[in-house]
Structure 1
Amino acid sequence: MPREAATPGDVDSPYAWLRLVITLALGTVACVGTWSVIVVLPTLQLEFGTLRGGASMPYTLAMLGFAAGGILMGRLVDRLGIVVPVLIGAALLCVGYILAALTTSIWQFALLSAVIGFGSAAGFAPLISDLSHWFRKHRAVAVSFAASGSYLAGAVWPLVIDHFQFAYGWRAVHVGIGLFVPFAMVPLGLALSRKPAQTSYAAAEAATEAAREELGLSPRQLQGLLVVAGFACCMAMSMPQVHLVAYCGDLGYGVAVGAQIVSLMLGLGVVSRVGSGAIADRIGAGPMLLIGSAMQAVALLLFLFFDSRSSLWVIAGLFGLFQGGIVPMYAVIIRQFLPPREAGARISLVLTATVLGMAAGGLAAGFIYDATQSYRLAFLHGLLWNLVNLALIGWLLVWPKWRRRSRAVRGHLRA
């Protein structure tokens, strides 16, 4: 498939912003696979006769598929561009959803959820990596827009699925999604066939080398720190996102209310992502990441003490506003400090760690609930992981200043 090379002037250009809009629409469609299972979780638990932990398994396998797909498709983006991963994702989503509608056990559904998650991965890290090459001055806000596709999917798809599930059943809904997704994804993906110019890569390489020298960490050290930090923050983030629908059902407010609250939370998460990106372009991605993580910890703490219907609406909204901008900041940090020609693989690896954190956190919360018949310890469990993330990101911000100060002291002593 021929691809037209972009000129250096295309960076931060009107074409780049058009590409952002297409990317956002594509991510919104493709990321249905990360949200559909949380809406049908209570239905699956009843139909297949399993406990909450067992019913959480499809979500966990969907996230594992999403993680594996992110890594493999990230490598494909570096080598072939974005179109091939999008077409692969569309095909897998079509097959996965239609076959999931035919399952007769929770384990069959869980295995096909892994296929669905793998396909949905095309709508997240690969798209973020691809778009990051088209912006320099406004990279943080652009990356945040690209990452907002997953949250727009979370704001739109749960309401759509809940409505049609009530009217036609979850199996019919899955068939409908399987038919709709490739119909939308294929033309959007083909519209992104253009690639950045080689001169853009060369300029970005020089900038990242200089920034990395100032930071004082090797690519491997920085990559490892971001992987652990990303996993920790999403272990914390997963509890409200995965279990809030079921939590509202347990409290007697109804699954539909839970889906509406999740939709609000993720809709405000989009606002948070865009706003955080705009702020990060001014103060830097690292400080913005620290602020977002601290605010997420506050929201998790509020969940521990308030569970009335009105308070859940308020806290979930705050949670969306607080944590929505966290994940895109990892991608911006990678593009600031690590080689641009490896952006697809490196961004995908760190974002895969966040996905694994979501998967492990969602599963852990389910088993904690089964053991205690309460989500209180699950919220506390998430808060502790959030503190780990805060410690790592705080160290990352302090380390360069401490390093410069130590070098200055050593130089003064030698003099």
Structure 2
Amino acid sequence: MQDRYRENETVLFGQEHRRREPESSGGRSLRYEDKMVMILTAAGGVAALDAQAVFYLMPFIATDFALGSSQIGMIGSAVLVGWAIGGLLMARASDRLGKRKPFLVAAFACFALLSGLSAAAMGFATLLIARILIGLAEGPVIPIKQAIVMVESTPSRRGFNMGIVQNFGAQLLGTLVGPIILIAVAQNAGWRWAFLVAGIPGLIIALLILRFIREPAIAAQAAPSPPSENGQSQRNGAHAWRHLLGNRNLVLCTLIALAAVAWFFVMLTFLPLYLIRNLQFSSSQMSLVMSLIGVAGVISAVIVPAISDRHGRRTAIMIFSAIGAIAPLGALYAGANPWVIGATLLIGCLMLGTFPLIMATVPQESVQPADAATATGLVIAVAQLGGGAIGPILAGWLADRIGDDTPLMLAAGLALIATGIAPFVRETKPPHRHDCAPTHPE
């Protein structure tokens, strides 16, 4: 059956953009926007599964390689470091060249192949190098796929689409289903095969993107930046970075993301230990309680961005950042009842739904379209290096000197810091009545 197309003219970022949407002869087929969201959501889940595989497989790896605690920590942070660097550099290259799709296809193909390098690692050094390389390959995934979603989404559902694409698949596959699959493979076939299982779907995603995702019509050449004082484009060289770093929303979102990512990784690192050592939970009780983080991530990926589409980005960020303090405070003050602590963790970790807003939606709505991927890459790079790598180190240092409850107090404080910064973010939600894109606040 041949598809016929109807031309749908929309206005995005203040520019006319003609979109071709398929319509089957028998009725309305799946819109390209919906298909794009489905594919890129699955892509996020596959990338998260591969990035987090080393955490789930570490008990097996540490035994085989006789790794010490410091070596385990270095391997765990290797992907974050590579992710931050690769994301920023490749996002900027994508913006400069005005191309999205080739970078995204290459990212998934590369990390799928590099998973074989992890599986073939013969010791600490080779595994460390493999994980850094995988981080470099996966880094561009979020900035570039979100730049695609930004352009291709109907403005009135842009926040919802970006939230689903960034968090839903990542939490569902990477946090909920991933551990079950990978640990089962490791127990039955070995951790090396588990790395391959985590990586092979990347090739499938690369093929799906190559076949079904189109190159966005709005790219670098379609949206020239205003000239600087000497007449050069602000996107060139140092002018581009000064322009981005002078953007109020971008700076504020970076600070919020720094606090939010630190909140998450501090809890992820120290909450399991606190539940077992201080509250005397069994391993199974701890595992059940911690799994609710993934449940909260899946739920929040839907409701928080949807709320931002109706009531504004700033409002959603403020409310759910404040709610984030409930998770660590519940562990500290709700007693030793797993059900009560699980409930506070489920509610508090709805803060995860703000991550797509502060890392992608607001930054990209605040800059020119040609700088969209760089904006997200910059926020993620600072958040991953500062919050993901330094946050747990600081929390551990405080715990050694003050007490075991200090990391969780720090996590609560970080959520409140994010809440305190959020009111200063300029609203970027597009007005529904015109269904058009917002201006770009500086």
If the TM-score is normalised by the length of the shorter chain, which range does it land in?
A: 0.7 to 0.9
What is aligned with 1:410?
Answer: none
* 1:395 match: 424
In structure 1, the residue matched to 2:437 is none
Alignment equivalent of 1:75, drawn from 87, 92, 97: 92
The Cα shift of 1:112 comes to: 1.9
Instruction: Identify which of 148, 151, 156 aligns with 2:171.
Output: 151
1:195 aligns with 2:178: no
Aligned counterpart, 1:93: 111
Query: What is the aligned partner in structure 2 of residue 405 from structure 1?
Result: none
1:307 Cα deviation after fit:
5.0
Corresponding residue for 1:411?
A: none
AA matched with 1:22: I
Q: Is the contact between residue 31 and residue 123 of structure 1 (CA under 8 Å) also seen in structure 2?
A: no
Contact 2:110–2:137 (CA under 8 A) maintained in structure 1 = yes
Q: Classify 1:75/1:167 alpha carbon distance in 2 versus 1 (closer, same or farther; 3 Å).
A: same
> 1:95 and 1:199 mapped to 2: Cα distance?
29
Aligned residue number for residue 185 of structure 1: 205
Q: Out of 129, 146, 156, which is 2:147 matched to?
A: 129
Q: Offset of 1:310 from its aligned partner?
A: 3.5
Shift of 1:345: 0.7
What's 1:65 paired with? 82
Instruction: Decide whether aligned partners of structure 1 residues 157 and 201 sit closer, same or farther in structure 2, where only a CA change above 3 A counts.
Output: farther
Which residue identity is paired with 2:267? P
Query: Structure 1 residues 138-147 or 325-334, which shifts more?
Result: 325-334
Matches of 1:376 and 1:301 in 2, distance apart?
10
Question: What does the per-residue CA deviation read over 1:186-231, in whole Å, with 9 as the maximum and x for residues that have no partner?
Answer: 212213542333499979999xxxxxxxxxx984333222222211
Q: Secondary structure at the match of 1:10?
A: strand
Indicate whether 1:295 and 2:295 are aligned: no
Task: Report the CA distance between 1:308 and its aligned residue.
Answer: 4.8
Partner of 2:52: 35
Checking the alignment, whether the CA contact within 8 Å between 2:265 and 2:391 is kept in structure 1 is yes
Going from structure 1 to structure 2, the CA distance change for 1:296 and 1:358 (only over 3 Å counts) comes to same
Counterpart in 2 of 1:280? 308
How do 1:18-57 residues align onto structure 2 when only pairs under 5 Å count? Answer: 18-57=35-74
Q: Is the 8 A contact 1:140 1:278 kept in 2?
A: yes
Describe the shift of the 1:61–1:289 C-alpha distance in structure 2 as closer, same or farther (beyond 3 A).
Answer: same
**Is the partner of 1:137 in helix, strand or coil?**
helix
Q: CA deviation at 1:279?
A: 0.6
Question: Who is 1:240 aligned against?
Answer: 267
Deviation string, structure 1 residues 313-371 (Cα, Å, up to 9, x no partner): 33332233x212111112221233221221011112112223222233344456666x4
Checking the alignment, whether the CA contact within 8 Å between 1:31 and 1:120 is kept in structure 2 is no
Taking the aligned partners of 2:355 and 2:92, their CA distance within structure 1 comes to 20
Contact 1:155 1:266 in 2 (8 A): yes
Report whether the alignment pairs 1:269 with 2:297: yes
Assess if the C-alpha contact under 8 Å between 1:71 and 1:345 holds in 2.
Answer: yes
Aligned length: 380
Deviation at 1:95, TM superposition (A): 3.6
315, 326, 329: which one aligns with 2:357: 329
Q: How far did 1:56 drift?
A: 2.4
Q: Match for 1:169 among 185, 190, 199?
A: 190
Report the CA distance shift for 1:253/1:157 in structure 2 as closer, same or farther (over 3 A): same
Contact 2:219 2:370 in 1 (8 A): no
Q: TM-score of the superposition, structure 2-length normalised?
A: 0.75
**Aligned-residue offset at 1:266:** 1.6
Task: Indicate the structure with greater helix content.
Answer: 1
State the identity %.
20
Check 1:104–1:307 CA distance in 2 against 1; reply closer, same or farther (3 A cut): farther
Counterpart mapping for 1:361-376 below 5 A: 361-365=391-395, 371=400, 375-376=404-405
**Which piece of structure 1 moves more, 228-237 or 106-115?**
106-115
2:19 to 6, 10, 17: 10
Name the CA shift for 1:119/1:315 in 2 (closer, same or farther; >3 Å): farther
1:304 aligns with 2:323: no
For the pair 1:360 / 2:369, whether they are aligned, the reply is no
Residues 18, 87 of structure 1: CA spacing in aligned structure 2 closer, same or farther, 3 A cutoff? Answer: closer
Q: Which of 330, 335, 344 lines up with 1:315 in the alignment?
A: 344
Q: Which runs of 5+ in 1 are unaligned?
A: 207-216, 399-415
Residue type of the alignment partner of 1:383: A
**Partner SS state of residue 324, structure 2:** helix
Corresponding residue for residue 233 of structure 2: none
SS in structure 1 of the partner of residue 319 of structure 2: helix
Picking from 141, 145, 159, the partner of 1:140 is 159
Distance 1:95 1:336 in 2: 34
Alpha-carbon distance in structure 2 between the residues aligned to 1:364 and 1:45: 24
Q: Distance in 2 between matches of 1:53 and 1:304?
A: 27
Contact 2:159–2:357 (CA under 8 A) maintained in structure 1? yes
Whether the aligned pair in 1 keeps the contact of 2:101 and 2:215 (CA below 8 Å) is no
Q: Does the CA contact (< 8 Å) of 2:330 and 2:341 recur in 1?
A: no
Question: Residues 300 and 361 of structure 1: is their aligned pair in 2 closer, same or farther, counting only changes over 3 Å?
Answer: same
CA apart distance, 1:246: 6.1
Aligned to 1:409: none
**Aligned-pair distance for 1:272?**
0.6
Separation in structure 1 between the aligned mates of residue 91 and residue 313 of structure 2, nearest angstrom: 22
| Maintained 8 Å contact 1:101/1:170 | yes
Does the 8 Å CA contact 2:166/2:356 hold for their aligned counterparts? yes
